[in-house]
């Protein structure tokens, strides 16, 4: 494949945009080559400005569960846009989407919409601190909850790709209230509670981590977290910005029996538009302004075009929940194919699937936490990524990210991707 136009576009972007991109991982710094500049998407495919076509397993990092340019969502967006792009005032579509979410999640009585996952998590943390009157929070090394100051500590995702798990510009006075625990290790969480001098306001976790690669939390670990939070008066927050409506119709909460106190959501509820949300019980949400003293606001929160897109997407999912069976089967078949291709040339690989989410590591042992993820062969991943891209398969450009299947992903696409994996691994393993 040729990338001449993308290479030129990247150079031009670099002159006016830091690193040439508006989100760090897109710069392809963790893999080989130059990022393709996308012209358009259709169904399960992406098309770049050089005319190359790719099977898309990124799907805008999760939200496009129905693929690119779904006709129903497209029609809803066009109709909403004809009425106006933004009002900064209430609309009924916000209430409609909120009702759909409340109906699905046992732990949510009320929900507040925002414009991004970062904003949702930042607001949920503030609310948890306001409810408990405590400052300390517990997060897990390798879990990424957006780039707000108190959470950009030992994060995964793009920060891990760049080997810089924290960031300059984050005040020590803020991070001193962020206690770090090890994913799937309850003793490390107990130590955080013991180390907290002022008391822990909340524990925030991706119940299905998607930002150190796909690393699900063990059920027993989530149960122990729930018990520990209850015993210490702390709130348990599930960050389901990525797994919500992806792992199942109810996200991780359709898989685990553990009920969190608060949930953050994003991705699919915007169907590709910028949307985030956080929700909890009526009692907890009553502390939020204008009902309570904890302040949170946003001019574009509940944007009518984004709400229309999300409402259409969510109603399509609710009307056909069996779609998750098909998505899960395709994800499993893809990962079985990748594993077989790796086995054929003696390259170590471990894989995992949760609903329409999939992940793989070039590793010879199960990955249960960030330290395990960091041991995976990142150089092999970089070579594999480049080989797959050259063969028309668009994978996440970091070994610390998760892949996604859409309803537009066909069996033929899965077969083509597996064939490309055999060819690529046969080439890069020599």
The answer regarding whether domain 4-69+322-428 maps to CATH 3.30.380.10 reads no
Predicted pLDDT of residue 146? 81
The pTM for the full model equals 0.93
Fold of 71-319: 3.40.640
Confirm whether 239 is a catalytic residue.
Answer: yes
Predicted pLDDT of residue 152? 67
Predicted pLDDT of residue 91? 97
Annotated catalytic residue, options 110, 139, 250, 267: 267
Confirm whether 295 is a catalytic residue.
Answer: no
| Per-domain residue ranges of the chain | 4-69+322-428, 71-319
Predicted pLDDT of residue 165? 37
Confirm whether 267 is a catalytic residue.
Answer: yes
Annotated catalytic residue, options 48, 56, 136, 239: 239
Predicted pLDDT of residue 25? 87
**Cα–Cα distance between 145 and 104 in angstroms, integer?**
23
Annotated catalytic residue, options 144, 183, 324, 394: 144
Going residue by residue through the chain (430 aa), what tens digit of pLDDT does each one get?
899 999 999 999 999 999 999 998 899 988 998 999 999 999 999 999 999 999 999 999 999 999 999 999 999 999 999 999 999 999 999 999 999 999 999 999 999 999 999 999 999 999 999 999 999 999 999 888 887 766 766 544 444 333 333 567 777 777 778 888 999 999 999 999 999 988 999 999 999 999 999 999 999 999 999 999 999 999 999 999 999 999 999 999 999 999 999 999 998 899 999 999 999 999 999 999 999 999 999 999 999 999 999 999 999 999 998 999 999 999 999 999 999 999 999 999 999 999 999 999 999 999 999 999 999 999 999 999 999 999 999 999 999 999 999 999 999 999 999 999 999 999 999 8
Predicted pLDDT of residue 197? 87
């Amino acid at each position: 494949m040729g990338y001449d136009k993308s290479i030129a576009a990247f150079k031009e972007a670099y002159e006016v945009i830091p690193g040439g991109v508006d989100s760090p991982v897109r710069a392809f710094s963790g893999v080989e080559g130059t990022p393709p500049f996308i012209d358009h998407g259709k169904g399960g495919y992406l098309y770049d400005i050089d005319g190359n076509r790719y099977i898309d397993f990124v799907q805008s990092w999760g939200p496009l569960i129905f693929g690119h340019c779904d006709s129903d969502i497209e029609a809803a967006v066009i109709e909403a846009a004809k009425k106006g792009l933004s009002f900064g005032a209430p609309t009924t579509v916000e209430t409609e989407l909120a009702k759909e979410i409340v109906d699905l999640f046992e732990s949510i009585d009320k929900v507040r919409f925002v414009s991004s996952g970062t904003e949702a998590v930042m607001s949920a943390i503030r609310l948890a601190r306001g409810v408990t009157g405590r400052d300390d929070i517990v997060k897990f090394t390798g879990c990424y909850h957006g780039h707000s100051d108190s959470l950009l500590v030992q994060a995964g995702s793009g920060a891990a790709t760049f080997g810089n798990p924290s960031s300059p510009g984050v005040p020590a006075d803020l991070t001193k209230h962020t206690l770090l625990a090890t994913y799937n290790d309850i003793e490390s969480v107990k130590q955080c509670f013991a180390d907290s001098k002022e008391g822990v306001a909340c524990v925030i976790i991706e119940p299905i981590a998607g930002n150190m690669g796909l690393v699900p939390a063990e059920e027993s670990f989530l149960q122990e977290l729930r018990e520990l939070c209850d015993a210490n008066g702390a709130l348990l927050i599930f960050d389901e910005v990525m797994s919500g409506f992806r792992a199942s119709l109810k996200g991780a909460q359709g898989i685990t029996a553990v009920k969190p106190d608060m949930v953050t959501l994003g991705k699919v509820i915007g169907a590709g538009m910028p949307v985030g949300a956080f929700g909890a019980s009526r009692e907890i949400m009553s502390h939020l302004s204008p009902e309570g003293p904890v302040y949170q606001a946003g001019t574009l929160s509940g944007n009518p075009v984004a709400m229309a897109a999300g409402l259409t997407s969510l109603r399509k999912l609710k009307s056909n929940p069996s779609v998750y069976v098909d998505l899960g089967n395709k994800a499993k078949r893809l990962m079985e194919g990748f594993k077989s291709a790796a086995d054929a040339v003696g390259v170590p690989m471990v894989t995992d699937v949760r609903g329409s989410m999939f992940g793989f590591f070039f590793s010879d042992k199960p990955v249960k936490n960030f330290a395990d993820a960091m041991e995976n062969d990142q150089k092999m991943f970089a070579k594999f990524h480049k080989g797959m891209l050259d063969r028309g398969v668009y994978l996440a450009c970091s070994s610390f990210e998760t892949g996604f299947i859409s309803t537009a992903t066909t069996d033929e696409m899965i077969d083509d991707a597996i064939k490309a994996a055999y060819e690529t691994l046969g080439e890069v393993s020599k």
